Amino acid sequence: MPHELLTVSHRIARVTLHYPPANVLNHSVLKELDQVFGELEGDAYIRVVILTGSGKFFSAGADINELAHLNSSYEGSDFSARGHSLLNRIERFDKPVIAAINGTCVGGGLELALACHTRIAAAGISLGLPEIKLGLIPGFGGTQRLARIVGPSRATELILTGNSVTAEDALRMGLVNRVVPATDLVSEATALAGMIVARGRLATQAALRAIRAGLDSPLAEGLARESELFGELCETPDKKEGLQAFLEKRSPRFLDTEP
């Protein structure tokens, strides 16, 4: 992805999809996104990532021309696996990734948003998984993540009908965390990111790992992982600073929170 699409300020990285007119996720785009997230993963300065789109689309999903050339089981499975690789990377990122959904978000675009840790949508946009209308199913994780986020019943209806919902309906079903006017989308996402940056890096990282462990494992294993991570944090300077700041009635000065 060209570096002009990546901006960094106050430990917050903003990645903007800019592939007019619809920000489709073709093979080259998936590769570029993977490279960008690889760079962000290794950048100790970055604490939070905001992923958004340009124009009227967040992303319209897979490139219809590429889909038309998938004529074998192997080709289809390979294409799906490439999408899984990127979206799994985002979902398992040790830095929070906020999807700022600026426009139409369908197909693989919605699947990309589902892989982010939290989602803010602009009012009035539409979201959906229309693959069934093409004789397909979501192939970038949509059948798995949507059911986990909104429940199997709602996910089944959306996937089997291929119908889109408004941002407001998405909020009611828990598909997005909040809906804001389009003009406020970036500022709202940035404010949320800034709030997270003000928290301790170690605790933020541990929280993401604990949540992921609970989704990947039976409850008992998730609880065991939570205890392990909680115990590790008890030995950190951030824990000592957090408690001391609370007792002194001041804001904590965690490691890696300075601009």
Domains of the chain: residue spans and CATH: 3-197 (3.90.226.10), 201-247 (1.10.12)
Q: Give 142: exposed, middle or buried? Use CB within 10 Å, 0-12, 13-18, 19+.
A: buried
Q: Residue 1: is its pLDDT beyond 50?
A: no
Please give the Cα distance from 175 to 110 (Å, whole number).
10
Per-residue pLDDT band at 173 (split at 50, 70, 90): very high
Cβ atoms < 10 Å from Cβ of 104: 23
Per-residue confidence (pLDDT) for residue 255, from 0 to 100? 84
**Over residues 10-36, mean pLDDT:** 94
What is the average per-residue pLDDT within 60-64? 95
Query: Mind spelling out the 3-state secondary structure of 61-92?
Result: CCCHHHHHCCCCHHHHHHHHHHHHHHHHHHHC
What is the mean predicted confidence (pLDDT) over 201-217? 95
Out of 32, 41, 131, 235, the active site residue is: 131
Distance CA 187, CA 182 (A): 10
- pLDDT of residue 15 exceeding 70: yes
* Residue 54 three-state SS: coil
In the annotation, is 4 catalytic?
no
pLDDT above 80: residue 77: yes
Q: Is 168 a catalytic residue?
A: no
pLDDT confidence of 98, banded at 50, 70, 90?
very high
Task: Share the mean pLDDT of the chain.
Answer: 95
How large is the average pLDDT for residues 82-110? 97
CB-neighbour burial class of residue 74 (10 A; exposed 0-12, middle 13-18, buried 19+): exposed
Task: Assess whether pLDDT exceeds 60 at residue 3.
Answer: no
Pairing of strands 12-17, 48-53: parallel
Residues 6+ apart with CB under 8 A from 81: none
Identify the pLDDT of residue 2. 46
Q: What is the mean pLDDT of residues 186-205?
A: 96
Pairing of strands 97-101, 118-122: parallel
Given the residues 39, 41, 75, 111, select the one marked as catalytic: 111
Least confident of 76-80, 129-133, 238-242, 254-258: 254-258
CA distance 203 to 246: 16
Residue 120 exposure: Cα atoms within 13 Å on the Cβ side: 20
Give the mean pLDDT of 201-230: 95
